[in-house]
Amino acid sequence: MEITQETDYAVRCILYLSRYAGETPIMIETISEEMRIPRSFLAKILQRLAKAGIVQSFRGVKGGFQLKRPPSAISLLDVVEAIEGPVAMNRCTIDPQRCDLSGACTVHPVWQTLQALVVDYLGKTTFDTMMQCRK
Amino acid sequence: MEITQETDYAVRCILYLSRYAGETPIMIETISEEMRIPRSFLAKILQRLAKAGIVQSFRGVKGGFQLKRPPSAISLLDVVEAIEGPVAMNRCTIDPQRCDLSGACTVHPVWQTLQALVVDYLGKTTFDTMMQCRK
DNA sequence: CCTTTCAGGATAATATCAGTCCTGTATAAT
DNA sequence: ATTATACAGGACTGATATTATCCTGAAAGG
């Protein structure tokens, strides 16, 4: 039921980049030190965030990472899903085939409703509202 | 972000026992076969549910398990927490010391609100409303 | 062309998950 | 009392996920 450490790092990372939105790229090294995230692990995380189109990378001298969209256009859901894949409460809400007992299941809609609740809340929580955070 | 297989089994198990609330105890063997849950794993799960006061065990011939309360008094939250411990979205919402960056964090309250949302929903969803389920 | 910085794959330690197995203990029936 | 039955509880195991690290390669800029 918990997000992983990796997701928590990703959120911190985007939070940090939000402070410098519209400025020059920030190096992995800097984010790592400021946000207390292991350097090489952060590199992996930023790759995922780049593939998800949340950040953009620049190589070479003066390289680093920038947000690809303004903080107001990035939700917690975007970041969580970039790292963990689709949010699901139970196996069966993402892959109906994992429901191995036949017939209509009244627990299934309960998980789906909960999932919708979570997705909705994470989706409407954006990084501009969290920017004053120093975590 | 997902519940574990064990929790899913536990929910199915309580769902099955709900059908026979107020009747004679049901053997592990029977629940296992009817609900397609590995027998010895189910034994472990029922031990946890018993310790949490959700089911009651009876030994010897004619032994087995019964709900300790009516299905209307057992919530999904009760079962989830019996298996997984307290529901938390992030490490820091259950143990503030895991928040290794100093100062006020504006992401923290977001996880807490989400957690409260989930706990509230799971808490008000009881097994009497899910009993017609055949999962 | 050479330094810097990211890209991406291989590797590894540890934890958690999912489950089995065996011995022991309580209970009911004989 | 004895015995068969059914749960109690701990030890153990294999697979997978988590949480990283390290190394080689590629792009970009001076």
Helix (H, G, I), strand (E, B) or coil at B67: strand
Average pLDDT over residues A19-27: 95
- The verdict on a CB contact (< 8 Å) between B118 and A114 is yes
User: Does at least one atom of strand D sit less than 7 Å from the CB of B134?
Assistant: no
DSSP chain A: -PPPHHHHHHHHHHHHHHHTTTS--B-HHHHHHHHT--HHHHHHHHHHHHHTTSEEEE-STT-EEEESS-GGG-BHHHHHHHHH-S--SSHHHH-GGG--S-S--SSHHHHHHHHHHHHHHHHH-BTTTTTT---
Chain A: give the shortest CA distance to residue B62, in Å.
27
- The verdict on a CB contact (< 8 Å) between B101 and A134 is yes
Global pTM?
0.92
- The verdict on a CB contact (< 8 Å) between A135 and B108 is yes
Domain layout of chain B by residue ranges: 5-85+126-133
Residue B103 pLDDT grade (very low, low, confident, very high; cuts 50, 70, 90): low
Q: Residue A102 above 60 pLDDT? A: no
Is B133:A92 a contact under the CB 8 Å cutoff? no
Q: Residue A98 above 70 pLDDT? A: no
- Closest partner residue to A90 (CB to CB) among B2, B110, B133 is B2
B122 → chain A, closest CA residue: A114
Q: Residue A92 above 90 pLDDT? A: no
Taking the CA of residue A126 and the C1' sugar atom of nucleotide D30, their distance in angstroms comes to 39
Residue A134's pLDDT is 47
Mark which residues 3-42 of B lie under 8 Å from A by CB: 3, 5, 8, 11-12, 15, 35-36
Is B81:B74 a contact under the CB 8 Å cutoff? no
Residue A95 pLDDT grade (very low, low, confident, very high; cuts 50, 70, 90): confident
Q: Residue B10 above 70 pLDDT? A: yes
Residue B102's pLDDT is 56
Tell whether domain B5-85+126-133 is in CATH 3.30.70.270.
Answer: no
